[in-house]
Chains A and B, each alone.
Chain A
C-alpha cells in the first residue's frame, strides 16, 4: 500500500528495555520526521532526516537514536526505555524542502513503558 506506515501500532515494554519503532514510506520523500505527542505539549520533534544517512536532532532527542540507511525507512530506537517516554509517536515525511512542504503523518504508535 502506498503511503506511510508505522509498526507496531501498540507496544508495552518495561523500563530499561530497548524498543525500536518502525516507519516506512513509499513516496521516496527526502525528509522524514519523528514526533511524540503528549497532553499539553502537542507534537514535539524528536529527530528528523533530510535524506538517507543524514539525521539531526529536534526539540526532544535525549534517550532516542535514529538511523536512515534507506530513503524509505526511518526507525526510532529507545535504547533504555523510561516511563517518561510513554507517549504516542508519529512518523512523518515530506518532499524536497521539508520546511514548507506538507508533512504526511503515519497512524502513530502508542508506547507504554511500565
Chain B
C-alpha cells in the first residue's frame, strides 16, 4: 500500500501561471518531506524540502506547503517556465525511517 500518493499523473499549465502539484501521505510518523524533479533520461534531482516543524518553505520560484492535519503537501511554482516541464516526485521520511517513500510522480507540462 502506497504511503505517499500523487493522485494527478499529469498537469498542464501556461507559461507565467502558477503550477500546483499535490501530494498526500498516510503515515503520521513522517516528519520530513522532499520534492524531486526528473527530466527524461536523467536521474531525479533534489528541488526543495520541508520539515514537519514548518508549514511553508520557499526557495525562489518554488514554495512547498505542508498541512500536517490533512497529511497533505503541495509544491507551488510561480511563475512557471517551459524549463520546469518535468516529472515531479514527492518523498517522505523521518527519524524513525532509514529510507524515503516516493509518490508515483506528476508530469508537469508548461506551455509557452
Looking at chain B's contact residues, the main secondary structure is loop
Contact indicator A99/B99 (Cβ below 8 Å): yes
Given contacts A41-B104, A42-B102, A44-B102, whether A99 and B95 have CB atoms under 8 Å apart is yes
- Interface size, chain B (Cβ < 8 Å): 27
8 A Cβ contacts from A33-50 to B: 33, 35, 40-45, 48, 50
In angstroms, Cα B41 to Cα A105, docked, is 12
Considering only CB atoms, which chain B residue lies closest to A98 in the complex? Answer: B98
Which of these, A41, A44, A56, A108, contacts B98 with CB under 8 Å? A56
* Cβ-based interface call for A107 (8 A): yes
Say whether chain A's binding surface is mostly helix, strand, loop, or mixed: strand
- Which chain B residue shows the least CB distance to A92? B43
> Which listed residue (A41, A48, A105, A108) contacts B99, Cβ 8 A?
A48
